[in-house]
Structure 1
């Protein structure tokens, strides 16, 4: 028998073929594993971005509603309704509270706003005038009501027992002398999340503390459990009627290998092909709702395609290398054995070139597919960045609109006065008003310039500003209102008083405070406003105050006066943003603002302007 080392196949030793086979297996396995690793990492990164977006959307949307019950609970009419005895006293207050709740629900876009007495009975509701009103419903068994009475606030996801509509409930206690007299509850729909999150090839869901899917882009999975529910937990669910008596079935799925701390492979039903299941990459993280978790299932088929592509690529390379090895062997054999003829050699060469061209075409197609997939991934990332920019522009536009309202009102007043001056042939006064309009327009241009600082906050540059000139500008804007309302004005600002501030923002602050003072005295028999400035006890500081003869500020509102959406004005006459913006402007140029009630009646706002050294401003 011939030695093993001497056995040849097509002119190549058998050990050479064995070495090539081992090398091919190692290379193919390594390439496939590398392609799979990179693809799954990319899919996991996309899933992580998705979870970030979903968590931000939940946090932003739910944050809009979380403070609503607390705001409603502080309303005097709501507190009076809960304090009133059932009967005629409560019936007299009920229409006003019902209309208020209806308006709040309409403004916030929720499903319902309810006032609940201490026994758990709904005594006022935003849907008071609808066929399926919640008034008279007892919710004492609901966890959000029990948590509100026990801890001051509560949150709970459940299905409405009256409507069968699922939603998220926020509740806040209404306190009377430090003790809960009842609660205010707001119900929010979650349907918008399911529509916004729906994306081909993936499933997004929110799983509550019971392990039950409460929000899902796959409708058939809603209210299915991912983990078995214990008998004790089942009794608690039935007691709270969380799912309105619906049977909670276990969603058939299988947990597979774990990929990372927050991701693992799992098999779930394929919602595109009923009766089939599919392997997904499952990513999860805690949701903004306490006890809940966000989950996203991503199809791993793209990773399988990458794996097959890498395997085909390595196979093609080895086939080309093998073919070239065979070609070289055949060529050497052809040279050594010229007797086999030129025709056989030409035929073998043509066949080899055709095979190489075919394999090269396959490689080109595979490379083109990889380039298309890379471009698609880059386009997806650009869309995510664009969505983030749109959200920030929305917030900036809301703030800028409020900032422009005051100058626009002033422009209208000055233009009306200018027209009156022209009709009376008082041209110098008309020209002076037009010049003031021009300055206001310049100030509005400064405000709109903030849009250029899209991704960063503009730096405030305080300078020395004449306080009496700034006050005169604010008084000029309200000259007509002061005259029409016969307001007694007392201005005591020493000549030459200067403060460190940003000029346009200081004027905005003074206009806001003077406008609030005019609103406070508008309906009073004695209408007076005092404006005063004097040096503070500490050197370099100036105290400026605006006081009115109005009714003052309610004690429960005073600590929250500079918070957004807090207002003492009647409904429809203010959004509660003016003082919040004023406070932000004052803090921006290093000063401090305080509000208090005067001993002899009325409110007083005081601004303490800091010195140049304390604010860190260097003039130059």
Structure 2
């Protein structure tokens, strides 16, 4: 059995090889990613330990230096009622030291644990008068000479690190000096993406953390007795220390291990991290860093994608080779069949060539006949228009004939009476009437003449004037208001006779649409496009408009809006063919206020040359 031309055993072997290679690549990428995270974590721990040591070293000696100040020793040795006079000098000194060191506060504490002087003596929240006898840093300084303690301030509620040193007069302990520093700068400096850093004190409580939600929580549950000691020292401002939810899952190389911790980016969830630890400069404390495993997982994904891509390329290449081999075999088989078919085809082509040549000759002849028929159809359209105008033209010619007869009779009478002046005047009027009749018949002869096929620059205003002359009597008899807005120098590319036929057809249709309408009106106008390359001509009426069902097929043959017996529906079809022969476009729309409008977009002409599109 085969699949796409490849044996099934080969497909199965490739799949097994792919799975094995993908699993090995993912595992290697995972180990390399964890090793890279471990190396980065060790480097981070070194940096954090160095920065913590540097930050603590700035302030560790500050209480001991202040304890050597004579004014502080004098203040502590003086009776309580004599200290008021000594306080201003000590307060100013502590304020200057605190300002120069950048610490939170510097205090002087008597043996009872009362703060008798402080750098913030004149601030709204002052440490003066606060009793710190319960604080470990105070008790450690009296017993061991120095004390160090992390806690939350009982006055300010702000976490900080306290350093204290005993004030001695010889071997006698007079009290202690203490300095409080902030840890917020450390948290800001340690905050980097995909990593959480924290300092855990001797109680297992997170006291410094780049994740605010982890602060003042314990890595492991604190025993009730220990909770009581923490509450007594008010180390965390009397708050109960909750469990962080930390769980150690398994070890990794180079002192790193996996642990489950709350997800800092999605509160309420837990994630697995790679955790590393280093002892902090302060005894009993530890610096820990939790590294996001997403970078190692991305390396796994890249390794999997790489192996998959390699196997896909190999699979496609193999399929290509198999298919190519099949194609070559099929091509060789097809060549023999093609040769046999070619021989048969040559004989068939010779037979069809002769038949095709005959068919081409017949089509050329048919095209010539069709072109002649189109010319005849256009000319027939003209004659049809002339037939429709016969009644109006008869009236237009009969009127001057009757006038001529009357004037001639009067002239004969005037001559008989010897009134030659009046007779000559009548004959002059007869001459003008004859000239008008000759002008009208000339326009009719020009309209009826078969046009030339070529296009030349034609004045649109002149063509409209000739077309209007044919319908002048009808326009006058039916009281149609005719508004024309066409500049005399508007030239379009057209054939004069055919352009007149187009305008005659459109003007005749507009007049037919206005039959029986009140206040009939026809508007005609033309304007150039912005680039002067085209001229848009329109003719609009205020008639009933065009049936929407007819409008879509208006320029097709035998489509008409007139009653049966009043037209064959060829006028607009002929008009459309004539317009297309000019290289122009014709369209029709119904107007919003009633009536219809026909628009022709001509190619503009300039003088003796025709502008091209």
C-alpha deviation, 1:178, in angstroms: 1.9
C-alpha deviation, 1:207, in angstroms: 1.3
- Of 183, 208, 217, the residue aligned with 1:215 is 208
The residue that corresponds to 1:266 in the other structure is 259
C-alpha deviation, 1:329, in angstroms: 2.7
Q: Is the CA contact 2:231–2:239 (under 8 Å) kept in the aligned structure 1?
A: no
C-alpha deviation, 1:167, in angstroms: 0.5
Q: Is the CA contact 2:38–2:254 (under 8 Å) kept in the aligned structure 1?
A: no
The residue that corresponds to 1:137 in the other structure is 130
C-alpha deviation, 1:132, in angstroms: 2.4
The residue that corresponds to 2:446 in the other structure is none
Is 1:67 equivalent to 2:61 in the alignment? yes
Is 1:58 equivalent to 2:71 in the alignment? no
Q: Which segment drifts farther, 274-283 or 56-65?
A: 274-283
Q: For residues 109 and 135 of structure 2, what CA distance do their matches in structure 1 show?
A: 12
Change over 3 Å in CA distance of 1:272–1:341 after alignment to 2: farther
Q: For residues 21 and 333 of structure 2, what CA distance do their matches in structure 1 show?
A: 37
The residue that corresponds to 1:24 in the other structure is 18
Superposed counterparts of 1:90-239, under 5 Å:
90-239=83-232
Q: Is the CA contact 2:199–2:285 (under 8 Å) kept in the aligned structure 1?
A: yes
- Which has the larger Rg? 2
Q: Is the CA contact 2:205–2:218 (under 8 Å) kept in the aligned structure 1?
A: yes
Q: For residues 138 and 334 of structure 2, what CA distance do their matches in structure 1 show?
A: 98
Superposed counterparts of 1:305-320, under 5 Å:
305-320=298-313
Is 1:329 equivalent to 2:322 in the alignment? yes
Unaligned runs of 5+ in 2: 336-613
C-alpha deviation, 1:337, in angstroms: 5.2
* Secondary structure, aligned partner of 1:95: helix
Q: Is the CA contact 1:70–1:172 (under 8 Å) kept in the aligned structure 2?
A: yes
Deviations along 1:426-473, one digit per CA (max 9) or x if unpaired, are xxxxxxxxxxxxxxxxxxxxxxxxxxxxxxxxxxxxxxxxxxxxxxxx
The residue that corresponds to 2:280 in the other structure is 287
Q: For residues 303 and 103 of structure 2, what CA distance do their matches in structure 1 show?
A: 52
The residue that corresponds to 1:244 in the other structure is 237
Q: Is the CA contact 1:170–1:187 (under 8 Å) kept in the aligned structure 2?
A: yes
Q: Is the CA contact 2:75–2:86 (under 8 Å) kept in the aligned structure 1?
A: yes
C-alpha deviation, 1:13, in angstroms: 4.3
Deviations along 1:350-382, one digit per CA (max 9) or x if unpaired, are xxxxxxxxxxxxxxxxxxxxxxxxxxxxxxxxx
Deviations along 1:34-54, one digit per CA (max 9) or x if unpaired, are 222222222222222222222
Deviations along 1:463-508, one digit per CA (max 9) or x if unpaired, are xxxxxxxxxxxxxxxxxxxxxxxxxxxxxxxxxxxxxxxxxxxxxx
Q: For residues 6 and 249 of structure 2, what CA distance do their matches in structure 1 show?
A: 45
The residue that corresponds to 2:577 in the other structure is none
The residue that corresponds to 1:85 in the other structure is 79
Superposed counterparts of 1:470-485, under 5 Å:
none
The residue that corresponds to 1:76 in the other structure is 70
Q: For residues 262 and 121 of structure 1, what CA distance do their matches in structure 2 show?
A: 45
Q: For residues 327 and 102 of structure 1, what CA distance do their matches in structure 2 show?
A: 84
* Secondary structure, aligned partner of 1:312: helix
Deviations along 1:287-311, one digit per CA (max 9) or x if unpaired, are 1122111122222212211111110
CA-based RMSD of the aligned residues comes to: 2.1
C-alpha deviation, 1:272, in angstroms: 2.5
Unaligned runs of 5+ in 1: 1-6, 343-620
Q: For residues 254 and 330 of structure 2, what CA distance do their matches in structure 1 show?
A: 65
Q: Is the CA contact 2:145–2:166 (under 8 Å) kept in the aligned structure 1?
A: yes
The residue that corresponds to 2:37 in the other structure is 43
Q: For residues 53 and 176 of structure 1, what CA distance do their matches in structure 2 show?
A: 40
Q: For residues 148 and 133 of structure 2, what CA distance do their matches in structure 1 show?
A: 14
Q: For residues 299 and 268 of structure 2, what CA distance do their matches in structure 1 show?
A: 27
Q: Is the CA contact 1:169–1:186 (under 8 Å) kept in the aligned structure 2?
A: yes
Q: Is the CA contact 1:334–1:340 (under 8 Å) kept in the aligned structure 2?
A: no
Q: Is the CA contact 1:112–1:127 (under 8 Å) kept in the aligned structure 2?
A: yes
Q: For residues 157 and 137 of structure 2, what CA distance do their matches in structure 1 show?
A: 17
Q: For residues 236 and 253 of structure 2, what CA distance do their matches in structure 1 show?
A: 33
